[in-house]
Amino acid sequence: MVVANQKGGVGKTTTTVNLAASLALHGARVLVIDLDPQGNASTALGIDHHAEVPSIYDVLVDSRPLSDVVQPVMDVEGLFCAPATIDLAGAEIELVSLVARESRLQRAIQAYEQPLDYILIDCPPSLGLLTVNAMVAGAEVLIPIQCEYYALEGLGQLLRNVDLVRGHLNPALHVSTILLTMYDGRTRLASQVADEVRTHFAEEVLRTSIPRSVRISEAPSYGQTVLTYDPGSSGALSYLEAAREIALRGAAVHYDPQNAHGGHAPVGHAPVGHQNNQRSMSEGIQ
C-alpha cells in the first residue's frame, strides 16, 4: 500500500506508522518502507537511521537485498521497518541514470522472502522517482487528506500520476483508500472539506476519520506510535478502527468467492470503484 500525497504535512507518515502498528497489533506481519529522506517514519518507529545504517537507499541505488536493511520494531511484534537515511536525498537524482530506475523497489520487494501480510510505503512529499518507485511496487494507493482549505488542490495531479503509472508500468495500481486526517469536528471548514471529499470519492473514503489529537503528534518524539504511547487515546482508537476497515475489505476479497473484483487485485483488497470511477475522479478534481 503506497501512502502518497505530494503535499507535505497532511499525515502520510503518521498514517503509515499508526496503521502499520494497528495491523501488527491485530496479528498481521507488516513492513513499513520509509521512502522519505527525512526518515520521519523510521524515527516514529524508534529505528536508528543515522548515515551509516544500511537503508532503503542501499536497496534502491546499490541493489542491496531488502533483507539486509529491514529491522524489527521493538515495541510491536510483527512490525518491521526498512529505514531511510539522509543518503536518500540524493537518490532522486542518482536513480535517473540507473537501469530500470522506476522498478528498483518493486524488484527488491519481489526478492524479499520473509512472509508478510502488508507492506506500507511512506512516500516523500513529491511526485518524483521515489514516489514512482513506490507506485510501481504497490498494489494500491492510500491518500491521506488533511481536512483544511486547499485540501483538494494538487489531488488531480496525483490521480493523473497514478493513471500514468497504471497505464505504463503497473496495471494493478489503483487508489483504494482515502483517509481524512486531522479532522476537527468543531470547525465548519473541516466538515465541509470532509463532505466534499466524500462526495467525490464515495467508495474510497474510509468511514473512520482521524481526529486532530495532541497524543498523535507527541508520540514520534518518544520513538513510538500512538498505539503504544497512549493506546486508549482517541487517536489510537481511530487508527485501530481505520485499520479494521482496511483489513475487513481485504478479507472480503480473500473470502468472498462472489466478489467480481477479486481477480484484479494481486494482494490486498478490492479495487474499489477503480474501473468505473477513476476517470470521473481525475476529471472532477483539478
Contact call for residues 163 and 132 (beta carbons, < 8 A): no
Q: Which of 104, 166, 212, 269 binds ligand ADP (CB under 6 A)?
A: 212
* Residue 209 binding ligand ADP, by CB under 6 A: no
CB of 256 to Mg ion, least distance (A): 34
- Residues within window 13-32 making contact with Mg ion, judged by CB under 5 A: 13
* Residue 206 binding ligand ADP, by CB under 6 A: no
Which among ligand ADP, Mg ion, none contacts residue 11 (Cβ within 5 to 8 A by kind)?
A: ligand ADP
Residue 74: CA count within 13 A, CB half-sphere? 11
From residue 96 to residue 135, the character string flagging contacts with ligand ADP as x (rule: CB under 6 A) and all else as - is -----------------------------x----------
Q: Looking at 11-19, 81-89, 92-100, 112-120, which segment touches ligand ADP (CB under 6 A)?
A: 11-19
Hey, which residues does 71 pair with through a beta bridge?
A: 81
Smallest CA-to-CA distance from 78 within 27, 15, 136, 142 is with 27
From residue 176 to residue 195, the character string flagging contacts with ligand ADP as x (rule: CB under 6 A) and all else as - is -----xx-------------
Q: Between 220 and 273, whose beta carbon lies closer to Mg ion?
A: 220
Q: Between 10 and 119, whose beta carbon lies closer to ligand ADP?
A: 10
Q: Which of 2, 12, 91, 175 binds ligand ADP (CB under 6 A)?
A: 12
* Phi-psi category of residue 216: left, alpha or beta, with phi > 0 → left and psi -120 to 50 → alpha: alpha
